[in-house]
Amino acid sequence: MAGSSDLNASRRLFVKILGQTTVLIPIAGLSACGKPPTAASTGASPPPPPAPPGAAPGTGMDAQAGEVANTAQPPASGNDLPHIGLDDPAARALGYSFDAATVDNAKYPEHLKGQSCRKCAQFKGGPNDAWGPCMVFAGKQVNAHGWCTAFVAKPA
C-alpha cells in the first residue's frame, strides 16, 4: 500500500499546483488588460514627440528662432512688392509712365503705339495682373499699362 500512498501524495500535489495555476493565470491576464497597448505590444512605430512651442507647422523647426525653411510655401510671386513711383530715379531715367497712352512721343520717339508693360518681355506679372514685377526695376512692380524706354517686345 506504500505505492498507493505515494500515488495519493503525488495526486494531491498535482491538484494543489493545478489549483494555484488556475488562480494565477486569470490574475496575470487581468493585469495586462488594463494597460493601453504599447508600440512594443502592437509592433507599430511610436508616435513622434510633440512639437515645441512656437514651432512652425510641418517644419519641425522653431519659428521664433528664425530657422524656418518651410519648403511648402509657394515661391514669391512679386505681388507683394511696392509699386514704382514716377519720382523713382530709375523710372525717371527710363521715362517710365504708368500709362503708355500718355507717353510723349516727341520726347520718346521709340515708343510705338500698342506697346505697354504687359507686352514687354521684362514684365513678369501674370496676363491678368494690373501690376507686376519688372526685370529692369528690381524689387518694384510696374503697371501693366505702363511703358519705359527699356521696352522689349515679347516674342510672338
Q: Least separation, in Å, of the C-beta of 155 and ligand SF4?
A: 14
What letter represents residue 26's amino acid?
A: P
Q: Least separation, in Å, of the C-beta of 135 and ligand SF4?
A: 7
Q: Which is nearer to ligand SF4, 51 or 150 (CB)?
A: 150
67: which residues sit within 8 A by CB, 6+ positions away? 61
Q: Which is nearer to ligand SF4, 59 or 122 (CB)?
A: 122
Q: Which is nearer to ligand SF4, 81 or 151 (CB)?
A: 151
Q: Which is nearer to ligand SF4, 81 or 120 (CB)?
A: 120
Note the residues at the interface with ligand SF4 (CB under 6 A).
96, 117, 120, 122-123, 134, 136, 142, 146-148, 150-151
Closest CA to 143 of 85, 87, 59, 57: 85
- Phi, psi for 57 (deg, rounded to 5): -65, 135
Integer angstrom CA distances of residue 107 from 50, 57, 79, 84, 93:
66, 55, 31, 21, 13
